[in-house]
Chain A
């Protein structure tokens, strides 16, 4: 059974997506349990895979028994071994938490929604697990197309915002495909490990350079790396809560994973950091991304949109960390994939709960929420602490590695940007907390107002949220183990 984890991971959600859509005709209520079971299997398999990788080392799984480079191989090492559980567990927790809000928003379309949801997760898990550059493109499109569908089910402006995303996302995916085409022309292979083996003699080739640059631009577009971020805020803001709290934490992070995979495995760090020698410039781009993300977030008067700009800034963290070109920076970037996925999940699930109860997410809608929804707001506080970077929440520790990496690379601009972004995050979140805490103002010393009691979201939404919040702290305490037992082996030893 555990030999088949890599296949189960992708096949179970894929097939159950079909089952859900068929079952929807028979009984609408069957969709949810099937989807939860499928993602449960995926989560179980991904955790099992991580432990197998930690015990046995790299796993190569030949799909259908066909050997690479002709067949498609799934390739699981320490890097995606770490990302897989994050994706599957986040998707599962969000699914459980979103049941009520899906029923509230789409009483008739729950079945199709679950189908798309499962396909989306299939695509994301596939992107992470595959060891084949072209197969990755296919899965990228599966995730993207289902993502468009999910995001478009939202407010009035959602379809238009999604259309914009569709254009940009398609261009991004095409760039990536084009880059892979170049690689195929020069190496004759689509298997990532195989390409890495064939590339070193060709490092000086213009075609390889073109392939790398085009791939990178494509991936940056898909991860909303500033200034290629313009599609993201509207698409994520106007979507329904269940979709945005799946897509906002996971899609950008999975694309950062793809970037790191390209740097570490396909093109190798020697090529990227030694032959190309543009890393300094890219880190400056990341600095701009972080600063602009933070400033644009400041300009928003609406919680959900503010959070989307924080996502844009966080992408800058990871791109910058990865491109510092040293071990600490890369450790920080990989750790931040995990941490940022979790903390973004936390804050977007909070928005989901607020929307469920208050039917809005503008700042004016948030008055008195500390009293009305104490548990949800408690989770928001923990998520905010993690985004600000307060120990012992996990966000502090990835920031630690990123800053140490910046110092040892001598890149003080990046360090300053991270500190700046932390300070702006304090302002951003305490502005929200102030509204939830003080307003509506009382006439005298707060004795008279706050008479209304608690009005918390349903248990099925609050419990998964609190689980995520607890994970934020737990992951913080286990940072040492994650780095020593997993991330350390995900980075080639040549990188110091």
Chain B
């Protein structure tokens, strides 16, 4: 694999870190402050975009920040998988910044400067995770993200925020210190290195039970992936303002979790080792359980954001499942689902937030007839939910298609059944809501029959993400190509 040394990945991380002092200084002038956020988001996206052609040529970009421990450096490496994730999160940051303005100003939230600062910090950490070349760097940015998100989750600073914040820390930080840190150090003691490689570095180092133990320590240690039973922080984190839930708890933070799991499974253990020890089978079943349970719990939710949270829990395990299938199509589907789910789910969260800004309603049972009042928002919601269900004309169809092919390729028929059932369940919790929003009898409608949308800053972003969700079906590049490249470098197919 050809590599070139370039400072660009570091710059992509630093842009949003260095903008924080500027945001603080311009705190008294919100328009300047938000302009800076947009500038940083735009520059970050452009830097990442400028690396795409190089990556598509099959070259990797590396940059070493500091050699902190013999054999282990704080080091960045941009490969196809990292690029896929970085593209998704940095492009959505721009959209979310616009949405944040509409949402935060619409609700006259306090401490907006703090909010924008930690948002920028969280994005730095997210891109850092995407570009990590080894486990130490990954852990560094993973923890940075955990702590940068805490003030966002607890933004309201009330009793509910405090108890959710506690849960958040307990699950996220507790597992990362309790499981990932020792697992990482044991791996280092076994192999003497932590650099991700296409077939892992643990093969032939430890005994079978130890490798198995490490595998599960990593799997559950990255609790941001919300694999059951370490999932319940995610519904709790829904106390955050909606843009936080949208970008962080549907895209950046949770996808960092599954990204880490995928990275570790492929780059630390390697597909051959997992396959030879049969470790992928229990992971497949844990993920399948999470998919079914998450979808079933989502059915019973009335609070729209909590419903979306449980839906996210289920969808995240699709990604883990795809990787654990270890078949080329399945892994492609898993990686692709990071992008497809991101655009679909962020649309849904944007809609939930827009409804809250416009009407103050949080529960589905209070939203009958909302389609007449907010037709654009609910149309976008419909598209987003189609994408999550995995139906055309939305991008979610492609990743589910690949996942289904993957189960056939891996000869896992029961899992095929799980995927199909889960799609039905997704339809079962989204469609009644959408139906009632548009097609209720006029006397049942809880809203006046008059179009009144949320502020433009809220509506335009959700229209954009919904449109992208549709476009992704017809033009899934560069995401599909990046996922295929990564899978090819792992499996050779």
Contact = CB atoms under 8 A, between A and B. Distances in A.
Given A404-B188, A426-B177, A438-B162, A480 B157 contact: no
Contacts of A403: 181-182, 185
Contact of B69 (A400, A423, A446, A450): A400
B173 interface: yes
A108 B159 CA distance: 46
A171 B169 CA distance: 44
A291 to B, nearest CB: 15
A94 interface: no
Interface string B57-76: 00000000111111001100
Contacts of B157: 437-438, 441-442, 445-446
Interface residues of A, number: 36
A93 to B, nearest CB: 23
Contact of A476 (B68, B143, B159, B185): B68
A477 B74 contact: yes
B143 A426 contact: no
B154 A437 contact: yes
B147 interface: yes
B421 to A, nearest CB: 38
Contacts of B143: 390-391
B189 interface: yes
Contacts of B442: none
Interface in B103-146: 108, 110-111, 136, 139-140, 143-144
Interface in B31-66: 65-66
B74 A392 contact: yes
A422 B144 CA distance: 16
28 contacts: A385-B147, A389-B181, A390-B144, A391-B74, A391-B140, A400-B185, A407-B186, A408-B189, A415-B182, A415-B185, A419-B178, A419-B181, A423-B178, A426-B177, A434-B162, A434-B165, A438-B154, A438-B161, A441-B157, A444-B158, A446-B158, A447-B108, A450-B110, A476-B68, A477-B66, A480-B67, A480-B70, A483-B69
Interface magnitude class on chain B: 35 or more
Nearest to B179: A419
A489 interface: no
Contacts of A447: 108, 110
B304 to A, nearest CB: 19
Q: Which 9 A-B pairs have the closest CB atoms?
A: A446-B157, A391-B140, A480-B67, A407-B189, A480-B68, A477-B66, A479-B68, A403-B185, A390-B143
B174 interface: yes
Contacts of A434: 162, 165-166
A66 interface: no
B156 to A, nearest CB: 5
Given A391-B143, A438-B161, A477 B154 contact: no
A2 interface: no
Contact of A441 (B159, B166, B178, B182): B159
A471 to B, nearest CB: 15
B177 A419 contact: yes
A407 B481 CA distance: 42
A430 B150 CA distance: 10
Contacts of A385: 147
A479 B69 contact: yes
Interface in A469-496: 476-480, 483-484
A397 interface: yes
A404 B174 CA distance: 20
A446 B110 contact: yes
B193 to A, nearest CB: 13
Contacts of A476: 68
A403 B69 CA distance: 13
A463 to B, nearest CB: 16
Contacts of A390: 143-144, 147
Contacts of A484: 70
Nearest to B136: A391
Nearest to B73: A480
Contacts of B73: 480
A441 B110 CA distance: 14
A430 B182 CA distance: 22
